[in-house]
Amino acid sequence: MRVSKEALLIILAFIAPIIVELRTVLAWANIELTVLESVVLGLAIVALVLVWAFFPEDESSSETPERQLSNGD
């Protein structure tokens, strides 16, 4: 996994408002999506993030050392 489960949760949360308003933004560019299309698009984005997150990465990656630090808890 490229990021921790918790980080993934937060990333997905941050994507939510973007997906919700994407349809409005696209409408400005005269791209009109139906509800179904925007739901599908949203799910596709979520799927992409999941693939990115779970895609096995080189073990020597430097993603995690800072996670060793305690939360102060």
Partner 1 sequence: MTMSESGGTYIDNFPAEARVVRSALYSSFLALALGGLFGIIQTLHRTDIYRFIESDMYYTVLTAHGVFLVVTFTIFFLVGVFTWAVTTSLDRGVEDIRFTWLWYGLMTIGTVMAAAAILAGFTDSIDMSADVLFTFYAPLQAHWLFYLGLVVFVVGTWLAGADWFRSWWAWKQENPDERIPLPTFMVLTTMLMWYIATIGIAVSILVFLLPWSLGIIDSVNPTLTRTLFWFWGHPVVYFWLLPAYMMWYVMLPKISGGKLFSDPLARVVFILFLLLSTPVGIHHQYLDPGIAEGFKFIAMTNTMFLLLPSLLTAFTVVASMEHGARQRGGTGYFGWLKALPWRDPVFAGMALAGLMFAAGGFSGMINAGMNINYLVHNTLWVPGHFHLTVGTASALTFMAATYWLLPQLTGKALWNRSVALVQVVLWFLGMTFMSNSMHRAGLLGIPRRTAEPQYQGFEFEAGVGSVAELDFQLALGGALLAISIVLFLANVVGTAFNGRSDDLPANEFAETLSGPEDSPQVLDNLKLWTAIAVVLVILAYSFPLMSIVDRGGLYGPDISPFPVSIETLSLLAFTLEQYTTAAIATTGEFVQTTLTGVIR
Site residues for partner 1 per CB under 8 A = 4, 6-7, 9-10, 13, 16-17, 20-21, 23-24, 27, 32, 35, 65-66, 69, 71-73
Region of residue 35 (phi > 0: left; psi between -120 and 50: alpha; otherwise: beta): alpha
Tracing tokens 């808890």 back to the chain, one arrives at 73
Tracing tokens 């060793």 back to the chain, one arrives at 68
- Specify whether the CB–CB gap between 49 and 15 falls below 8 A: yes
Q: In the complex with partner 1, which residue's Cβ is closer, 54 or 63?
A: 63
Q: In the complex with partner 1, which residue's Cβ is closer, 29 or 58?
A: 29
Q: In the complex with partner 1, which residue's Cβ is closer, 58 or 66?
A: 66
